[in-house]
Amino acid sequence: MWQAEVRIDLDAIRDNVATLRARTTAEVMAAVKADGYGHGMVPSARAALAGGATWLGVATLDEALTLRGAGITAPVLAWLHAPGLPLHDGVAADVDLSAGGLAQLAELVAAARRAERTARVHLKLDTGLGRGGALADEWPALVEAAAKAQAAGEIDVIGVWSHFACADSPGHESVGRQLAAFADGLAVAEQTGVSPRYRHIANSAALLTRPDAHYDLVRPGIAIYGLSPIAGETFGLRPAMTARARVTMTKRVPAGQGVSYGLTYHTPRETTLALIPLGYGDGVPRHASSAGPVEINGRVHTIAGRVCMDQIVIDCGDDPVAPGDVATLFGPGRPTADDWADASGTINYEIVTRFGGSRVPRVYDGGTP
Ligand SMILES: *Cc1c(COP(=O)(O)O)cnc(C)c1O
């Protein structure tokens, strides 16, 4: 018997990757950072590889080393490191690392010397996001230094890459501008004698809407988990995560009963309240108070009052509901993670990621051994 669970459909992740692969001739790097957007990093990575991904992408060195520790041998790129990290461990473990400036490149060269091995490097260009990467005026110096280190056998420039700011708003003028800046950066690299095997800039949104951004490798994240980066379009993807719990108790209360902290909700009539053992300690956003949708016995209700740390209360009216009934917050059917995002003023990415690493047990369906 279970009280609350986050179910992950690994076959959905596998199939979503296959769906994405069918849209491009580029190789697919599955983004499995942040514990696979809450779905579990290692199982998600295996499912993505089974679906045809040939690369894995993570933010941190630790995440990359965890994948290697699990026995995953596919190419892995880690793109976010503060100075002073043991990057030589990454080099030794065959992890591709990003350099977005001269200082980072120098660290990678030092890591290669220490590991006594050529570092696999992806040079990052800031084409307009204003986050990581070298700006256009720093780019020629970065590429020249990389070419020198490559000639010395210290690094191998595997990739040149960038990241979009507004690919989730198809038609946003910045997308074309960033693509033009990326092409310029690639031309500078070519002129300097750096011809990377992998040029990559497309996240899920660009993979789904901008074939001209695919280049040699695409880096979908949210789409492999079956969620769309673009409101109102599903692209044939299947949500992989279901968050649900069993009703712990029900009670009949009169009209005017105040419910939950702050008594922000009062029952409009005699009604049945159902107590659900999931709260913000489990990933339910407190911003979804009096707004988050929950399905019980085929009916979708709204949270009554505040989300607590451990629980929420649902006003079920006169609908039949009993202790032990299953209450679904979101899944492949209604409600969706997008409904929760709308109810709490965020994006579907944050909804699923919040449920990762929470106290709720994650249960896996499907997958490949
Ligand atoms: C997270 C991330 C991705 C994946 O983005 P989605 O919008 O989830 O497809 C790709 N590239 C980088 C650099 C990222 O940080």
Q: How many Å lie between the centroid of ligand 1 and the Cα of residue 146?
A: 25
Say how far apart CA 309 and CA 218 lie, in whole Å: 38
In a domain, 236, yes or no: no
- DSSP letter for each residue of 181-207: HHHHHHHHHHHTT---SEEEEE-HHHH
Helix (H, G, I), strand (E, B) or coil at 159: strand
Which atom number of ligand 1 is nearest to the Cα of residue 29? 10
Three-class SS of residue 164? coil
Which residues does 204 contact at the CB level (< 8 Å), separation at least 6?
20, 220, 221, 222, 223, 224, 229
Please indicate, yes or no, whether residues 292 and 182 belong to a single structural domain of this protein. no
The yes-or-no answer on residue 33 being catalytic is yes
Are 217 and 330 within one domain?
A: no
Residue 230 lies in a domain: no
Q: Say whether both 256 and 201 belong to one domain.
A: no
Task: Decide the pairing of beta strands 326-330 and 241-246.
Answer: antiparallel
Domain that holds residue 304: 241-365
Mutate to test the pocket of ligand 1, among 160, 219, 235, 347 (most ligand atoms within 8 A of CB): 219
Residue 269: both structure tokens together: 């009539």
Separation of 148 CA from ligand 1 center, angstroms? Answer: 30
* Residue 302, domain CATH: 2.40.37.10
- Residue 162 CB–ligand 1 contact under 6 Å: no
Q: Is 215 noted as a catalytic residue in this protein?
A: no
Same domain, 124 and 216: yes
Same domain, residue pair 72 and 158: yes
Residues 247 and 342 in one domain: yes
Q: What is the CATH number of the domain that holds 193?
A: 3.20.20.10
| Among protein residues, the one whose CA lies closest to atom 6 of ligand 1 | 221
185 found inside a domain: yes
Number of domains in the chain: 2
3-state secondary structure of 302: strand
| pLDDT tens, residue order, the chain (369 aa) | 899 999 999 999 999 999 999 999 999 999 999 999 999 999 999 999 999 999 999 999 999 999 999 999 999 999 999 999 999 999 999 999 999 999 999 999 999 999 999 999 999 999 999 999 999 999 999 999 999 999 999 999 999 999 999 999 999 999 999 999 999 999 999 999 999 999 999 999 999 999 999 999 999 999 999 999 999 999 999 999 999 999 999 999 999 999 999 999 999 999 999 999 999 999 999 999 999 999 999 999 999 999 999 999 999 999 999 999 999 999 999 999 999 999 999 999 999 999 987 799 999 999 865
